[in-house]
Amino acid sequence: MKDFTNRLNLPVLPLRGVVMFPKMMLNFDVNRMRSKRAVDMAVEGDQLIFLTAQMDAGVNEPEVEDIYKVGVVCRVKQVVKEDRKSTRVVVEGLWRGAIVESMPNDSCLFAAVEPYGDTKVKALTTRDIALMRSLKATFERYMELTPKLPTDILFRIGTASDPGELADYVASNVMLDTEIKQIILETVNISDRLEVLIDAMQNEIFIMSVEQDIMDKAKERIDQSQRDYYLREQMNVIRDELGENGDFNDIDELRKKITDMKLPEEVEKALMKECSRLERLPVGTNESSVIETYIDTVLELPWNTVTEEKIDLDAVREQLDRDHYGLDKVKKRVLEQLAVRKLSDKAKGQIICLVGPPGVGKTSIAMSIGDAIGRKSGRVALGGVRDEAEIRGHRRTYIASMPGRIINAVRKCGTRNPLLILDEVDKLSSDYKGDPSSALLEVLDSEQNYAFVDHYIDLPFDLSDVMFITTANDADAIPAPLRDRMDVIELPSYTRVEKFNIAKKHLLPKQMDLCGIRRKNFRITDKAIYAVIDYYTREAGVRNLERELTAILRKAAVAILSDPDTVVRVSDKNLEAFLGVKKYLDDVSAKKDEVGLVNGLAWTTVGGTLLPLECVVMPGSGKIELTGSLGDVMQESAKAAITAIRIRCDKYHIDPDFYKNYDIHIHALEGAIPKDGPSAGVTMATALYSSLTGLPVRADVAMTGEISISGKVLPIGGLKEKSMAAYKAGVKHVIIPKENERDLSEFDAELLEHITYHPVSTVDEVLALAIVTKDKPAEKSAKGRKKAAKTVRSEELGVRS
Residues taking part in catalysis: 679, 722
Residues 6 or more apart whose CB falls under 8 angstroms from that of 553 comprise 511, 512, 515, 517, 522
Beta-bridge partner residues of 688: none
Q: How far apart are the first and last CA of the chain?
A: 128
Rounded distance between C-alpha atoms, residue 130 and residue 128, angstroms:
5
Other CB atoms closer than 10 Å to residue 123's CB: what's the count? 5
Rounded distance between C-alpha atoms, residue 610 and residue 723, angstroms:
9
Collapse the DSSP code of 248 into the 3-class scheme (helix H, G, I; strand E, B; otherwise coil) and give the result. helix
With left for phi above 0 and alpha for psi between -120 and 50, is residue 345 left, alpha or beta? alpha
- Rg of the chain (C-alpha set): 47
Q: Which of 99, 117, 89 is nearest to 52 (CA)?
A: 99
Q: Which residues of 717-744 are buried (b: 16+ CB within 10 A; e: fewer)?
A: ebbbbbbbbbbbbebbbbbbbbebbebb
**Helix H or strand E encompassing 38:** helix 33-44
According to DSSP, the β-strands at 460-461 and 452-453 are antiparallel
Rounded distance between C-alpha atoms, residue 119 and residue 163, angstroms:
9
According to DSSP, the β-strands at 87-103 and 25-30 are antiparallel
Backbone phi, psi, residue 461, to 5°: -125, 135
Q: Which of 666, 755, 643 is nearest to 703 (CA)?
A: 755
Instruction: Report which residue type is found at 778.
Output: A
Collapse the DSSP code of 484 into the 3-class scheme (helix H, G, I; strand E, B; otherwise coil) and give the result. helix
Q: Which residues of 647-677 are buried (b: 16+ CB within 10 A; e: fewer)?
A: ebeeeeebeeebbeebebbbbbeeeeeebeb
**Helix H or strand E encompassing 627:** strand 624-627
Rounded distance between C-alpha atoms, residue 464 and residue 295, angstroms:
23
- Contact 601/589 with Cβ under 8 angstroms? no
**Helix H or strand E encompassing 684:** helix 681-693
DSSP 348: -
Q: Which of 405, 413, 419, 399 is nearest to 452 (CA)?
A: 405
Rounded distance between C-alpha atoms, residue 662 and residue 649, angstroms:
14
Other CB atoms closer than 10 Å to residue 413's CB: what's the count? 21
Other CB atoms closer than 10 Å to residue 405's CB: what's the count? 23
Nearest 5 degrees, angle CA 48-CA 53-CA 58? 130
Q: How far is CA 408 from its chain centroid? A: 20
Q: How far is CA 167 from its chain centroid? A: 63
Rounded distance between C-alpha atoms, residue 73 and residue 119, angstroms:
14
Residues 6 or more apart whose CB falls under 8 angstroms from that of 293 comprise none
Other CB atoms closer than 10 Å to residue 291's CB: what's the count? 18
- Contact 575/528 with Cβ under 8 angstroms? yes
- In angstroms, how far apart are the furthest CA atoms of the chain? 140
Other CB atoms closer than 10 Å to residue 236's CB: what's the count? 13
Instruction: Report which residue type is found at 408.
Output: N
Backbone phi, psi, residue 232, to 5°: -65, -40
